[in-house]
Amino acid sequence: MEALRVQDLCKTYITNKRQNNVLKNVNFTIEQGEMTAVMGPSGSGKSTLLYSVSGMDRPTAGQVILGGRKITDLKEKELAQVRLNEMGFIFQQMYMLKNLTVLDNILLPAYQSGRKDRSRKEIDAYALALMHRLGISEIAGNDITEVSGGQLQRACICRSMMNHPQILFADEPTGALNRGASEEVMKELMKLNQEGTTIMLVTHDMKVAAKCSRILYIVDGNIRGEFELGTCYSQKLEAQEAADITNLLRERERKLNAWLIEMGW
């Protein structure tokens, strides 16, 4: 099943009366359950692509079809509902409201969603269950300034999952994290993906991309190539031996690296 179809997507910015064609007829599809990484040089249009596809920004031309529905034709209000209820977002800079606790930040999208199918009690229980799952129960009552970068990014993942999105969009989700925290965050994203959430992420980190099922390589607003790595896991991630995972990842990184060199990385 197709999760996302992008057709002839263009994005042009006009700055100082000069036209900057950032995305030039981009076409791709993402199947349900895929974990797709977008890579490419700095300034090639990766963030612009993610924002145009996810309706955070309006493309100049082209279509985005999410779960069979053309979202590029939606009015702003309807699009906001789609973003809130069907998509999750994770960014490099972890945007959370400063005057709320971590838990209250996580709860916010659920309270805003306008859905009537869950009680407050159910929403609260779900938020706490997500926090437990991501190993951050102990920071529920903390101010967001009182937690580490890795903890905060895991809280952002909880927040992004509150409304059970079909698809998660992440722009450099590990970009501000050290290696250890980055690995923890990736492990959680892989688990969510294994449970059925489709993920599209932007990264310049080979180790992050090697955990994804497919890589799209973008240069100067065009997709220059794509590389199918296949899903990273054959069974529950927890059940695998650490040494096996290390070997598996090493092999995937080696393959990806060879391809990236071909692409001019």
Ligand X SMILES: Nc1ncnc2c1ncn2[C@@H]1O[C@H](COP(=O)(O)OP(=O)(O)O)[C@@H](O)[C@H]1O
Give whichever of 86 and 220 is closer to ligand X, judged by the CB atom.
Answer: 220
Task: Find the part of the chain contacting Mg ion (CB under 5 A) among 47-55, 97-105, 143-151, 173-181.
Answer: 47-55
Task: For 212-247, give the DSSP string.
Answer: SSEEEEEETTEEEEEEE---S-SS-GGGS-HHHHHH
What tokens does 93 get? 């800079």
| Residue 22 touching ligand X (CB under 6 A) | yes
Is the Cβ–Cβ distance between 176 and 164 less than 8 Å? no
> Of 1, 15, 116, 238, which one interacts with ligand X (CB under 6 A)?
15
Task: Find the part of the chain contacting ligand X (CB under 6 A) among 13-21, 127-135, 161-169, 224-232.
Answer: 13-21
Pairing of strands 87-91, 167-171: parallel
Task: Find the part of the chain contacting Mg ion (CB under 5 A) among 44-52, 102-110, 203-211, 240-248.
Answer: 44-52
Give whichever of 131 and 216 is closer to ligand X, judged by the CB atom.
Answer: 216
Residue 84 dihedral angles phi and psi, to the nearest 5°: -70, -40
User: Rounded distance, CA 196 to CA 77, Å?
Assistant: 27
Give whichever of 6 and 161 is closer to ligand X, judged by the CB atom.
Answer: 6
Give whichever of 56 and 245 is closer to ligand X, judged by the CB atom.
Answer: 56
User: Rounded distance, CA 133 to CA 115, Å?
Assistant: 24
Residue 35: partners with Cβ closer than 8 Å, 6 or more residues away: 189, 190, 193, 198, 199, 201, 211, 212, 213, 214, 231
> Of 34, 35, 47, 232, which one interacts with ligand X (CB under 6 A)?
47
> Of 34, 36, 37, 46, which one interacts with ligand X (CB under 6 A)?
46
| Residue 203 touching ligand X (CB under 6 A) | no
| Residue 47 touching Mg ion (CB under 5 A) | yes
Residues that bind Mg ion (CB under 5 A): 46-47
